[in-house]
Chain A
Amino acid sequence: MSSSEAADRRLGIVGAGKVGTTIARAAAAAGYDVAISGSGPAERIALIVDVLAPGARAATTDEVVGHADLIVLAVPMHRFRELPRDLFAGKILVDAMNYWEDIDGVDEELASAPMGTSIVVQHHFASARLVKSLNHLGYYEMEEGRHPHGAPGRIALAAAGDDRAAVAAVMQLIDRLGFDAVDAGPLEAGMALGPDGPVFGVAHSAAELSELLWSEASSA
């Protein structure tokens, strides 16, 4: 493997909860060199990572940022503002978060975000290349629904973002994780991937997912 290929198989994950550890496990199984952080020192999540995502490495958030150019943000939504604004400068940042009032409490800015919560996240991390993805399927379906490229009945995941090269990189990640990738359009179109959107929480093929997102876009 050349050094550029090795760089291309590095993934950082910030957040070691249900979603973060599920993505870490899938990515490690797909041959990625994965570094993952929780809040605080790496030792705090060492056992979790060892058991739930063998092959991934527990790290601090700064180490995760230094490890890869592609980073998944999977912290509880009410916590993302605690991270420094320039932390992900120049990085491709996958916003895998959803706003749940039942978990995050009432957050006026997120609850009323007219263009979707990713726009709020992009505003906070203005220097990151933000892509909304990996948020619209239950974590257990992400666990059990992975299939090799070309397999019949393969499930699809969508990615939305304004930086088209960043979207392409995330679509490659999705495919390697074991899902068909669907381009959902600009970042604000990522709103359709959220809890109140038409595709949330249900497994779809790429054709079904594209169709649902297309109908949503044309009715908006």
Chain B
Amino acid sequence: MNPQDIEFGLDSFVFVSVDESGQQLSGDVVIRNTVEEAVLADSVGIDSFNIAEHYRPDMMDSAAHVMLAAIAGRTERIRLGTAVTVLSTQDPVRVYTNFATLDAVSNGRAQLIVGRGSLTESFPLFGFDLADYEELFEEKLDLFTRLVRNQPVTWSGSFRSPLTDQYLSPPLPEGHLPTWVGVGGSPQSVIRAARFGLPLMLAVIGGSPKRFAPLVDLYKRALDAYGYPLLPIGMHSHGFVARTDEEAAAIQWPYWAEIFENAAAERGWARPTMERFRSEIASGSLYLGSVETVATKIAAVIRQLGLSRFDWVYATGRVPHEQRMATIELFGREVVPRVRELLAEPATEPATVALGSATNLESSRV
């Protein structure tokens, strides 16, 4: 694909961050700071800004559409989306009305990724049983895609009241509100994205992205089997960029370690180590370092998996607003143009070396 057509997005969890003295900011300040970050992303040429959905004390992303509408009013060009919308615990009718309205407010810039996400606090919060996850997602995706593609809708299911010849306002122009399916590695989820004829977003939050290559193959084969043309494939990963590799690692490490310490305590994950951090940077799923390091690694994975969209969680955890702004500036002005430049060159061997495989495992053994 033409390197100019590849989309580069920023993803935000609206992490509650600290100020430069280490003092934790209040939620409303964090939300306004994030709006500023999106405005900056627009001004430095980034293609999209996407907000996640959580209901936790350390993340302020519980109403993405409201924040996106505020961003829409201050930007002209950047696409505005979610990463991800937990469709299983929302009413597809409400998601449609919110995002069709966002699409109108923003003059056609709304987009969505729907999926489960890796945290699942929305299930008990909204009164759903996590054990029904598969059935919920299947049913709600079915209704949502009908609402976007072909109104009026006549529909019935198990989790909400039926609809008969239902039109919803505002109407969406054809092709608006592109909806991607986010997957974390489950083959059945990949098949489902293909069955619904929706583009695929791979969430790769640890380990070598190379292991997703078979899922990309599965998606293409499944699209073919369901009679669809090839649809776009994107990837979402974390990272941070600074002037040098050392500076980027020094800024991100304490906040990254904090997130994984919490996950270890809450969820039984392995505790973070500097070795694992280094290994994720060297050959795993952290796109972190200088402009050249990050651009080289992104270009390599785009080539290897045949991606047409790359979304980057710019800074993980409580990294201060000022440093987030600096990393957005570097990403938009320097990393993205450099990735496009690298992709315009003929493929060379280092592309695969940068992704590593066996070295990843060896270096993660401490």
A residues at B contact (CB < 8 Å): 16-18, 21, 38, 47-48, 50-52, 78, 100-106, 138-141, 143-145, 153, 155, 194-196, 200-205
Q: Contacts A105-B130, A144-B211: A16 and B187 contacting too (C-beta < 8 A)?
A: yes
User: Which chain A residues lie closer than 8 Å to B208 at the CB level?
Assistant: 140, 144
Among B191, B360, B364, the residue within 8 A (CB) of A47 is B191
Residue of A nearest to B210 (CB): A144
Q: Which residues of A contact B119 (CB under 8 A)?
A: 102
- Chain B residues closer than 8 Å to A145, beta-carbon distance: 361
B360, A144: Cβ atoms closer than 8 Å: yes
Cα-based distance from A103 to B214 in the complex (angstroms): 23
Provided the pairs A17-B186, A47-B221, A144-B361 are in contact, do residues A200 and B268 lie with their beta carbons within 8 angstroms? yes
Q: A38-B188, A52-B218, A144-B211 are in contact. Are A155 and B120 (CB under 8 A)?
A: no
**Which residues does chain B contribute within 8 Å of A140, judged by CB atoms?**
207-208, 211
What B residues does A205 contact at CB under 8 A? 365
Q: Of all chain A residues, which has the CB nearest B358?
A: A144
Contact B361 A141 (CB under 8 A): yes
B261 to chain A, nearest CB (A): 14
Known: A104-B131, A200-B268, A202-B270. Is A51-B217 also a contact (CB below 8 A)?
yes
Chain A's closest residue to B119 (CB) is A102
CB neighbours of B118 from chain A (8 A) = 102
Is A47 a contact of B222 with CB atoms below 8 Å? yes
Q: A17-B188, A52-B218 are in contact. List 18 more A-B contacts (CB 8 A).
A: A16-B187, A21-B187, A51-B218, A51-B221, A52-B214, A78-B131, A100-B267, A102-B120, A102-B130, A104-B130, A140-B208, A145-B361, A195-B267, A196-B268, A201-B269, A201-B270, A203-B365, A204-B365
Q: Is B185 interfacial (CB-CB < 8 Å)?
A: yes
Least CB distance, B225 to chain A, in whole angstroms: 6
Q: How far is the CA of A141 from the CA of B279 in the complex (A)?
A: 13
CA distance A155 to B218 in the complex (A): 28
Contacts of B340-366 to chain A: CB distance below 8 A: 357-358, 360-362, 364-365
Most buried by A among B129, B187, B211, B365: B187
Residue numbers in A under 8 Å from B120 (CB-CB): 102-103
Q: A140 to chain B: closest CB distance in Å? A: 5
Residues in A whose Cβ lies below 8 Å from that of B362:
153
A125 → B minimal CB distance (Å): 20
Question: Nearest-CB distance from A176 to chain B (Å)?
Answer: 19
Name 26 A/B residue pairs within 8 A (Cβ), A-sorted: A17-B188, A18-B185, A47-B222, A48-B187, A48-B191, A51-B214, A51-B218, A52-B187, A52-B214, A52-B218, A100-B268, A102-B119, A102-B120, A103-B133, A104-B130, A104-B131, A105-B123, A105-B131, A138-B207, A143-B211, A155-B365, A194-B268, A202-B270, A203-B361, A204-B365, A205-B365
Report A112 CB to chain B, min CB distance, Å. Answer: 15
- In the complex, chain B residues whose CB is within 8 Å of the CB of A104: 130-131
9 smallest beta-carbon distances between A and B, as pairs: A195-B268, A105-B130, A201-B270, A51-B218, A48-B187, A140-B207, A140-B211, A105-B131, A196-B268
- Do residues A103 and B187 form an inter-chain contact, with CB atoms below 8 A? no
Question: Taking chain B's interface residues, is the majority helix, strand, or loop, or is none over half, making it mixed?
Answer: helix
A167 → chain B, closest Cβ, in Å? 24
Interface residue from B123, B130, B186, B270 paired with A18 (Cβ < 8 Å): B186
**Known: A200-B268, A201-B270. Is A48-B188 also a contact (CB below 8 A)?**
yes
Please indicate the chain B residues that have their CB under 8 angstroms from the CB of A50 in the complex: 221
Enumerate chain B residues within 8 angstroms of A48, measured Cβ to Cβ: 187-188, 191, 218
Taking the nearest CB of chain A, how far is it from the CB of B314, in angstroms? 25
Whole-angstrom distance between the Cβ of B26 and the nearest chain A Cβ? 28
Pairwise interchain contact B357-A144, C-beta atoms closer than 8 A: yes
State A100–B225 Cα separation when bound (angstroms): 33
Question: What A residues does B133 contact at CB under 8 A?
Answer: 103
Q: Mark B173-199, 1 if CB is under 8 A from A, else 0.
A: 000000000000111100100000000
Chain A residues within 8 Å of B218, by CB: 47-48, 51-52
Q: Which residue on A lies nearest to B184, using beta carbons?
A: A18
Contacts of A141 in B (CB 8 A): 207, 361
Q: Select one of A17, A47, A106, A202 contacting B225, CB under 8 A.
A: A47
* A38–B186 alpha-carbon span in the complex (Å): 13
Which residue from chain B places its CB closest to the CB of A25 in the assembled complex? B214
Contacts of A139 in B (CB 8 A): 185
- State whether A155 touches B361 (Cβ < 8 A): yes
Q: How far is the CA of A144 from the CA of B213 in the complex (A)?
A: 13
The docked-state distance in angstroms from the alpha carbon of A38 to that of B191 is 13
B270 and A200: CB pair below 8 A? yes
Residues of A with C-beta under 8 A to B221 = 47, 50-51
Contact indicator B364/A203 (Cβ below 8 Å): yes
Tell me, in angstroms, the Cα distance from A78 to B133 when the chains sit together.
11
Inter-subunit contact B361/A103 (CB<8 Å) = no
- Chain A positions within 8 Å of B361 at CB level: 141, 144-145, 155, 203
- When the two chains form their complex, are residues A17 and B207 in contact, meaning their CB atoms are under 8 A apart? no
**B221, B267, B364, B365 interface centre (most CB from chain A within 10 Å):** B365
Report the minimal beta-carbon distance from A26 to chain B, rounded to whole angstroms.
13
Residues of B within 8 A of A38 (CB): 188
Complex Cα–Cα for A78 and B267 (A): 17
Which residues on the A side are within 8 Å of B129 (C-beta)?
A: 105
Enumerate chain A residues within 8 angstroms of B130, measured Cβ to Cβ.
Answer: 78, 102-106
